[in-house]
Amino acid sequence: MDISTRVIKRILIGRPLATDEAPHQTISKTVGLAVFASDALSSVAYAPGEILLVLLAGGLLSTWIALPIAVAITVMLVILTVSYRQTIFAYPSGGGAYIVARDNIGEAPAQVAGAALLTDYILTVAVSITSGWENVAATFPAIRPYQTALSAATIVFMTIINLRGVKESGRLFAAPTYFFIGMLFVTMVTAAFRYASGSLPVIQHAAETMEALRNSAQSLSLLLVLRAFSSGCTALTGVEAISNGIQAFKEPKSRNAATTMLAMSALIAVNFIGIVFFAGKMNVLPQFEVLADGHIIGDSAVLPYMTQALFGGESIFHWMLVVATMLILMMAANTSYADFPRLSSLLAGDGFLPRQLTFKGSRLTFSWGIVGLALASIALVIIFQGSTSALIPLYAIGVFLSFAISQAGMVVRWRKTSTLKPGEERQEEHSLLRYDKHWRIKMAINAVGAVMAFIVMIVFAVTKFAQGAWITVILIPTLVLIFFRIHHHYKGVALALSLSDRKLRPHRHDMLTIVMVDDVHVGTVQMVDFAMSEGNPWMAVHFDDNPIKTAKIKSKWNERMSDSGHDLTLVPCPYRNLSETAVEFVQSKLAQHPDRFVHVVMGQLVMDTWGAQALHANTNVSFYLALQSMERVAITNVTYQIHKPEPEPDAPLVAVPAVPVAAATAAAIPTQAAPAGATGP
C-alpha cells in the first residue's frame, strides 16, 4: 500500500486500534439505544403508513381498523420484549436467535435462524435508507427520480463511518436518534393537546382522490386485514438486535442491554399507537396511486403529512420532523452494521461462512462483514429501484422466523432448567444453565412468543407471497444449503490436515531449487543470490517460447552470470504454453527422486503504484496457479522494488535493491495471499 493510500485510509477510517483497546470500545446505554434501537425506533415512521396503504384497498372507511391492528401489534411487542429480556440474561455473550437455537434445538435450526437474521439485516439497510429518501421525496417531489442513486450513496457513507468502529459510529449517530425521539415527543404532545381541546385539524382530500378510492374499493375481508397486520408488523423489526449485540455494552453487559431494550420498546409502543390514532383522527393518508387493475401502490410516509396539518407546511417544527424522520430512517441501517458483522463472524467461527469474516480490521471491527453488508444492500436498492413498498414484502419473513426459532429455543432451555435441583448449575456450550423457580412462567411467555411469531410469519408469507415474499421463502433455504456446503468443506479440510490417525514425523528431504529466468537483469541476480543462500542444489531455467529472445538471454547469461557456476537450462516451449511446460518440467524433476522437494523461485518486479504494476506482465499468478496443486512443490516470489527518482521528473526509472521477500509455501497448503507480479520487465 503506497503512502497516499495509507493517508486516505487514515482520514476515512481513523488510526489503527490495538487489540488491548477493545474494552474501551464498549458503549453506554445512551449510545446503545442509538446503535441497536434505531432500526426498531425508525419503524414507527413507516409501519403506520404500510397499514393504511393496504387498508385503502377497501376504501377510506376501512382505515378505522388500523388502530385495532396497531394495538394487536403492540401486544405482540410486549411479549417479544419480555421474551428477549430473558434471552439477554440467559445468554450474556450475545448471538441472539442463532446461539439460542444452536444451544438448545440443533445445528440445522441454528443455520435457519442465522440465514433469516442475515437476510433481515441486509433488508434493514435497504428498507430503512430507501424509506428515508421516500420521506424526503414526500416534501421534495423533485428528487424522486434520484432516490436509487441517493440511497446507494448513503449506504457507502454509512459503511465508511462504521468501519471506524461501533463506539465512534454510535456517538456520531446518537444525535439524529435522540433528535427524532424529541421531535416525536413534540408531535405527539401537540396532537394530544389539540385533540383534547377540540382543535385537531382534519385533512380534506381532493375529489379525485376520493373518486379513486371508491373505484378501487374492495370488501373489508379477513385477507385484507391480515395483509395490513403483516405489513404493520414491520414495526417489530429490530427488536432482537440488542440480544445479538450484548457484548458491545459496558459492564454489567446484560443489565445494560436489558434496560436499553425496555426503553426502546416503551418508545416504540407509545409512538406507534399515537401515530396510528392521530392519523385516523386527522384523516391522514400516505401518498398513493390507483393502478388500472384497481391495485394501490405508494410510499409509506405518514408523519410529514401529519406535521404539515399540525404545524403548517412552512413551520420550523414540520421541517425539523421531516429532517429527523429522514435521519432516523437512515440511522436504522446502523443497527444492521452493528449486528450483521457480529453474527456473520459467529457463523464463520463455527465454519458455516468464510473464515475471513472472523478477522477484525484496524479499528477492531469485522471489516469483511461490514463491506459485505454494504454490497448486498446496494444490490437490493438497485434491483428494486429504491422502493420501500417493493422491499417490504421481502422483509418481515426472516425477522419473524428468527423470532419463532429464538423463542422455541428458550422454551427448550427452560425445560432443561426444570431438570435441575435448587442451587444446581450445568455448563452448556454457550451459557451456564441454572435452576430457576419461575421456569414455568418464563417458558409460557417464550412459548406464546414463539407461536405468535410463527403465525405472523405464515400470514406474511401467504399474504405477501405474490408481491415478492416468495424470494425470501426461496432465499433462506438456499442460504442454509450454502452454509452447510461451506461447513462440509471446512470439515473435509480439517480431516485432511489432521495428524490424529497418522504416524507422520518430520524429517529432512533432498531439495532442488529451480530459478525461473525470464530475462537477465538486476532482479535476476537477486533471485540467484537467494537460491545460493539456501545451500541446496539449484538450476536456472528459461522456457524457450521465442528463439530470438532466448538466444539474447542465453548470451547475457553467459556474459553476466558466469560467476554463478551454472549454465542456463533451456526448456523448449514451441506452443507458448508456459504454465503447462513448467508443470511438466517440475514433474520430471520430482519423478527422478520420489522423496525430493522442488523449490520454484520466481522473480517479481514491484512498482510503486498499482497503475505502473498493471503495465507489466504479472505472469507469476498463472505460474503459481499451475504449480500450487502439485505435491512436494514450494513456490517463492523474490520481489524487486522499482521506484521513481524524486529530484528529476524526466529521469529514467532506477532500480533500488531490496531485501528478498520469500513468500514460500508448500503446494499442499497454499498461502493466504497469492503472489502477483511480473517475471520480467
Mean pLDDT computed over every residue of the chain? 83
Same domain, 469 and 598: no
Q: Is residue 644 part of a domain?
A: yes
* 453 and 550 inside one domain: no
* Helical ranges in 142-252 per DSSP H: 147-162, 166-196, 207-216, 222-232, 241-244
Which three cell numbers, joined as nine digits, stand for 200?
Answer: 385537531
| Cβ atoms 120, 439 nearer than 8 A | no
Does the residue 431 lie in any domain? no
pLDDT digits (tens, 9 = 90+) for 651-666: 444 444 444 444 444 4
Quick one: 337 and 191 in the same domain? Answer: yes
Distance CA 424, CA 433 (A): 9
Here the CATH number for the domain that contains residue 286 is 1.20.1740.10
Rounded mean pLDDT of 176-191? 92
What is the rounded average pLDDT of the residues 474-502? 89
Same domain, 521 and 485: no
Residues 6+ away with beta carbon under 8 Å from 35: 27, 166, 169, 170, 173, 174, 245, 248, 334, 335, 338
pLDDT at 296 over 70: no
Same domain, 332 and 474: yes
Range of the domain at 173: 14-415+442-490
654 inside domain: yes
Is 352 part of any domain? yes
CA distances from 446 to 405, 452, 648 (A): 10, 10, 74
Angle between helices 66-90 and 253-282 (to 10 degrees): 180
Residues 332 and 240 in one domain: yes
For β-strands 654-655 and 633-643, DSSP reports them as: antiparallel
Is the CB of residue 34 less than 8 Å from the CB of residue 262?
Answer: no
pLDDT digits (tens, 9 = 90+) for 563-583: 888 999 999 998 888 899 999
Q: Is residue 402 part of a domain?
A: yes
CB of 143 closer than 8 Å to CB of 451: no
Task: Determine the pLDDT at residue 557.
Answer: 94
pLDDT of residue 359: 87
**CA-based nearest residue to 121, from 142, 97, 139, 105:** 97
- What length is written for the chain? 681
Residue 213 and residue 353 in one domain: yes
Same domain, 539 and 660: yes
User: If pLDDT is split at 50, 70 and 90, which confidence band does 645 have?
Assistant: low
- Residue pair 366/22 in contact (Cβ under 8 Å)? The answer is no
d(CA 476, CA 243): 21
Number of domains the chain is built from? 2
Q: Which of 430, 458, 490 is the last residue of a domain?
A: 490
Place of cell 498493471: 614
Distance, CA of 173 to CA of 253 (rounded, Å): 21
* pLDDT > 60? residue 78: yes
CATH number at residue 552: 3.40.50.620
Q: Is the pLDDT of residue 275 over 70?
A: yes
Determine the average pLDDT of the residues in 441-465. 86
Query: What is the pLDDT at residue 469?
Result: 79
Q: Are residues 174 and 82 in the same domain?
A: yes
Cβ(103)–Cβ(431) under 8 Å? yes
In a domain, 337, yes or no: yes
Determine the pLDDT at residue 170. 74
For residue 578, the one-letter residue type is: L
Q: 245 with 381, same domain?
A: yes
Same structural domain for residues 268 and 393? yes
> 426, 67 in Cβ contact below 8 A?
no
- Band of pLDDT at residue 465, cut at 50, 70 and 90: confident
Percent of the chain with pLDDT over 70: 85
Residue 300 DSSP code: -
> Is 423 part of any domain?
no
Local structure of 173: helix, strand or coil: helix
* Same domain for 562 and 477: no
Would residue 370 count as lying in a domain? Answer: yes
Give yes or no for residue 176 having a pLDDT over 60: yes
Per-residue pLDDT tens digits for 515-557:
999 999 998 999 999 999 988 999 999 999 899 999 999 999 9
d(CA 386, CA 633): 52
Looking at residue 233, what is its pLDDT? Answer: 85
